[in-house]
Amino acid sequence: MTLKELAHLAQQTLHTRSGWPVKRSHVHELLAAAFGHRSWAAFLSDSVLADSSVGAAPTGGLPDLIGRAVQLGYEQQAAATVAITLQAFIAEHRLSAVSLADLRAALLPAAQVADRDDLDDDDDDDGIDEDDEGWNDEPPRTAPPASGPAREHLMGSPMLLSSLEQAAGPANPQGHFLLAALYRCGRPNPYLYEESLKGRVLTAIERGWVDDYLRLEPQYRKYEAHLKAAALGGVRVAALEYGTTFENPEFIALAERLTGEVDALKMARHASSDEARARWLRTAAERGSRTAMEALASEGDAWAEDRVAEWADDHWLRSAAERALDAGNVVRAWTWQYLALEHGVDLTRSTMAAYHDGGERDGQFYDSDFGGPLYAGGDEGLVLPDLDPSSHEVAKAKAEAIFSRAR
């Protein structure tokens, strides 16, 4: 039942059972009073109607409902009869309310940074996230909400869907985004359905897949339509989702121009230019993304390098020193050498060695007494140019500062 159908049915029921004619607009006002609100506008600003055991039961008592009917112009006796009849109607149709706050908590978790294995991986599954090993103690953007109605449960309420559809409009892009989140699903495959239309006889399992397609296809179209409306209405995260999900770079560019919360690491992955990518990486790193921090550091960003160095391994320190040498920054190269020495590693010492290749001693230092195939591994010692004493002191002080922060 839709919200419009409910209002019509409630009007007829109140008239028939109470004997008093009730205006359609009064039905909405009385419904709001039944759920503890002073007006229908106040109710809509806080909640939406639901049914099918979704949401909270009415919170307004009979005296409040009678009082609201009196305010609307009904005599005391008529007001009492209408109020009692409406309470029975609400119970009969199992009407309830779901707060918009609960809906947002369930469907639109606060945007957080969620690190991925590979910054450039285009597999943008919402469930992919990595443990930051304590770097970011906040939950990732895709974490399930701690409380609130479950999405599948919400989908089981026709009244809730109808209420949200009616509330969404050109002036309510957030309403469209809520609906998009509710309808969100993957693109269903029409192959077997199209084959069945050509006369192919399907197995029982294949008929089940066709049923899934027929159920999901209209849901997918609603998801796309509401997501697009939210994006065009100025919801930044909706623009990003539409651009990435439906492979439309115009909406990614729109997300870059809009304001509001958004997954900075995801923006970096899909940025329209190198400049935009660097800007979003910096934002993600500042919000606590280790993936973004390491990406910036690997590209020679001094701010990110200093922070990655706090937890970096010997291989990273060597790479950082090599980047500094390539850039002609000898003092910075020596900084990484001094930091490596704090960890007991000398970047200028060669680690090249021969190892057994295969057999029972595979990977062990090569022993000529055993013979067999071998391979060379390790790094040649880094050649660092000389520095004057004062520059050495600068490099040492910087290394000690980074090492102290790491402890």
Token pair for 116: 């991925």
The pLDDT, as a whole number, for residue 373 is: 85
| Cβ partners under 8 Å of residue 7, min gap 6 | 24, 27, 28
Write the single-letter amino acid at 385.
P
Alpha carbon distance 385, 397 (integer Å)? 18
Token pair for 100: 């918009």
8 A C-beta contact, residue 34 and residue 65? yes
What global pTM score does this model have? 0.73
The pLDDT, as a whole number, for residue 376 is: 74
The pLDDT, as a whole number, for residue 110 is: 57
Write the single-letter amino acid at 320.
A
The pLDDT, as a whole number, for residue 206 is: 94
The pLDDT, as a whole number, for residue 109 is: 67
8 A C-beta contact, residue 86 and residue 10? yes
Question: Can you list the pairs that 278-287 forms with residues at least 24 positions away whose Cβ atoms lie under 8 Å?
Answer: 284/113, 287/112, 287/113, 287/136
For residue 91, count CB atoms less than 10 angstroms from its CB and return exposed for 0-12, middle for 13-18, buried for 19 or more: exposed
8 A C-beta contact, residue 81 and residue 20? yes
8 A C-beta contact, residue 385 and residue 330? yes
243 alpha carbon, distance to own chain's centre: 14
Rounded average pLDDT per 10-residue block, the chain, 407 residues: 91 91 94 94 93 89 94 94 95 93 82 46 39 34 46 89 88 93 93 94 94 95 96 95 95 94 92 90 92 90 86 84 91 92 87 78 76 76 90 93 82
- Which residues make beta-bridge pairs with 10? none
The pLDDT, as a whole number, for residue 143 is: 37
Run of H or E including 74: none
Q: What are phi and psi of 384, to 5 degrees?
A: -105, 130
Alpha carbon distance 240, 123 (integer Å)? 15
Alpha carbon distance 194, 390 (integer Å)? 77
The pLDDT, as a whole number, for residue 249 is: 93
